[in-house]
Amino acid sequence: MNSPKVSRRTRQGSLLRKTLVLASAGAVALGLGAVATAPAQAATAPPVTANWLDYYFNNKGIGGDAAGDAPHFEGGKGFHRSNLVTGGLGFGSEQSHPSDSTLKYWMGGENVGPFLDNIESAGQTIDTSAALGSGAVISATKIAFVWSAHNASDIGGPVSFTLKYANNTQQTVQRTAPDWCSDGNADNVQVASRQPRYGDNVNCTIFATTPIALTGTLDSIVLPSSDRVHVFAIASNADTSNAKFTIDSSLTLPASVHYGDTIQPTIDWGAEIPPSISGAWYLNGAVLSESRAQLVVPSSWVGKTVSYAVTIKKPGLRSRAFISNEVLVEPGALSTTVAPTLTGLPRVGDTLVVDAGQYAAPSQDPAVVGIAIQWLADSVPIPGATSAQYIPVAADTGKKISARITASKLGFNDVVTTTAQTTAVIAANVNPFPTEPGQPTEPTPQPALIAIRTPASTGGTVRVGATVKASAGTYEPAGAAISYRWLRGASVIPGAAKATYTIQPADLGKVISVEIHATASGRQPITQVKTLGVTASGVISASKSKVVIGKKTVKSATKPRVGQKMTVRIAKAQTPGAKATTSIQWYANGKKVSGKAGKKATLKVSKKLRGKRLQARVTYKATGYTAKTVKTVVSGKVR
């Protein structure tokens, strides 16, 4: 896992870029809805053992029936926690040596879950200075190893512990390891009576060595080099209260967290960074499998509380755990980059068109949003008027029309925008130019808008190399002049001023839209904006390449001879806007022909290819396109 960084947090929300996003009229609205309520449980710091050997633990030998609590002392088997308790071993409290009550120890393995509880011995050096030696309140004068072994008969005799003292002397102690499913031997006593182990009903247990008298102040121990030996604890008559990890630290999350934010805990370790740090995220008080210290908040976290916990360990000291503040995850914030606009002549029977606008989200470039439209007459919703176009009816005469746009995205708060109102709707038989005989003689303050009879539309697949098309629709007056302007995001594409546009590699990942301008003498011009979508990778078009020997095309029945040359005739690829490159790989019986020879257009058939079927595969690549591999016919067996 990635350990938490000692650094200031970052949030993508503060790095919001003004980017264009797809706003597709008629798309299904994807709003979040109501935010979830309080968490199911409060988050608490992870449990840690009181055993000061925790830093060295590398095996889980004790477990139970709960999910994630299975031990693996030997081949999927181990000690069953509850059965050890039945046998007389205690967890969560200080234990005494069975034959010498002055020797005390704490067992690991008391916590349910994937927590390690013993050292699989491999010659490790254990720092005992704080618990038993020169750093102890009262140093030990005698100790015992709480241990067990699997397949102990295969060890081949006693194992050695090297005890190293503060005065630079050392002592070697040998003990015969007890097999976990035996009654033990003269060097050991049972710390619990034998009970059924995890995995089957064989009776097994853990042992303690007979007391070992020390000859000095014990600052370290070198364990045996035998991975069959497992050390669970070291019992002693020392005062081990100094074996604690004292650290002045703080762990916090940002005060506010939103969907799409990049969050990371802020950790201040003070003067010392722990040598071992593990972390985990908690959602509504339950631990998650996600362990990365920095991540982007997913939509599934919205409405729930998040916190982060760390467990820190140091050799020879009891471990510690911390948990941060809990923060309620809030919906993300969409921003409007292009406001919705309404176009058209407000007259009964003429078409009004709304462009839903464009939007930005912190975590997407661009983002796709759902759009819901509601037309309004004098700010009152018009029943059933929810499409991108609206044709005023007689009942709308004298009313001002507008459209309310709701942009939605899962995990984000909705953005609701209402367009500016039109002027009052005029009757179908009213001429917007009151200059003809029989009409009022006062001139209108400005020319009327061109009326939309049929809205503009677009077609085609939005991907590199494809051609998309805009249809202007129809207008009143019928002779309105039409012009086009294609856009990549918010930028006009130079030279793209026709009804069709072939999408270029530079458009990949960008929003493509088109402006359709209608102009007519004596009328206000009108512009419709149609958004086509986000550009996907292009699809390379290439026919099947062929292989020739001389002038003859290789077929499935062709049996090449050793020494002949086989040449790939590469078919031309179609990649509008980009130049395609090709690479070749020869295969023999479906496996790559190694070396440079296997990558050339011409392959000289060698003796090692005798009896194999040959094939060439041509891979095409081009900027903005998905790579494509075309296979040639598989030949007959080489003679």
The phi-psi region of residue 242 (left if phi > 0; otherwise alpha if psi is between -120 and 50; otherwise beta) is: alpha
Residue-level pLDDT at 43: 83
305 contacts: CB under 8 Å, gap ≥ 6: 38, 39, 43, 283, 284, 285, 326, 327, 328, 329
Residue-level pLDDT at 435: 52
Tell me the C-alpha distance between 374 and 397, whole Å: 19
Tell me the C-alpha distance between 45 and 88, whole Å: 29
pTM: 0.61
Tell me the C-alpha distance between 421 and 211, whole Å: 92
Q: Output the six-digit token pair for 418.
A: 């209402």
Contact criterion met (CB below 8 Å) for 192 and 91: no
Task: Please provide residue 301's backbone torsions phi and psi, each rounded to the nearest 5 degrees.
Answer: -85, -10
333-357 pLDDT per residue, tens: 888 988 898 988 899 999 999 989 8
Contact criterion met (CB below 8 Å) for 108 and 100: no
Residue 37 — pLDDT band, cuts 50, 70, 90? Answer: very low
Mean pLDDT of 514-525: 94
Q: Output the six-digit token pair for 365.
A: 């470039």
Tell me the C-alpha distance between 390 and 372, whole Å: 14
> Which residues are bridge partners to 207 per DSSP?
147, 190
Question: Rounded to an integer, what is the distance from CA 47 to the centroid of its chain?
Answer: 27
The greatest distance separating any two alpha carbons of the chain, rounded to the nearest whole angstrom, comes to: 126
Q: Which domains are seen in the chain, by residue range?
A: 11-32+334-430 (2.60.40.2700), 33-46+245-330 (2.60.40.10), 54-236 (no CATH), 433-536 (2.60.40.2700), 541-631 (2.60.40)
558-612 pLDDT per residue, tens: 999 999 999 999 999 999 999 999 999 999 999 999 999 999 999 999 999 999 9
269-320 pLDDT per residue, tens: 888 889 999 999 999 999 898 878 899 899 899 999 999 999 999 999 999 9
Number of Cβ within a 10 Å radius of residue 230: 26
Res. 19: pLDDT tops 50:
no
Residue-level pLDDT at 289: 83
Tell me the C-alpha distance between 26 and 28, whole Å: 6
Res. 450: pLDDT tops 50:
yes
Residue-level pLDDT at 511: 87
Task: Please provide residue 505's backbone torsions phi and psi, each rounded to the nearest 5 degrees.
Answer: -55, -35
Which of 580-594 are b and which e, b meaning 16 or more Cβ less than 10 Å from the residue's Cβ?
bebebebbbeeeebe
Lowest-confidence region among 167-181, 363-377, 555-569, 591-605? 363-377
User: Within 13 Å and on the Cβ side, how many CA atoms surround 607?
Assistant: 0
564 contacts: CB under 8 Å, gap ≥ 6: 549, 604, 605
Contact criterion met (CB below 8 Å) for 416 and 406: yes
Residue 445 — pLDDT band, cuts 50, 70, 90? Answer: low
Contact criterion met (CB below 8 Å) for 466 and 502: yes
Amino acid (1-letter code) at residue 560: P
Residue-by-residue DSSP string for 410-465: TTEE-EEEEPPP-SBBBPTT--SSTTSTTS--SPPSSPPBPEEEE--EEES--BTT
Q: Output the six-digit token pair for 245.
A: 């990890």
Q: Please report, for the chain, how many H helices and E strands are present, in that order.
A: 1, 59
Tell me the C-alpha distance between 244 and 126, whole Å: 15
Res. 137: pLDDT tops 50:
yes
Task: Please provide residue 84's backbone torsions phi and psi, each rounded to the nearest 5 degrees.
Answer: -65, -40
Residue-level pLDDT at 16: 22
Using DSSP's 3-state secondary structure scheme, residue 598 falls into helix
Contact criterion met (CB below 8 Å) for 413 and 334: yes
Radius of gyration of the chain (CA): 39
Residue-level pLDDT at 260: 85
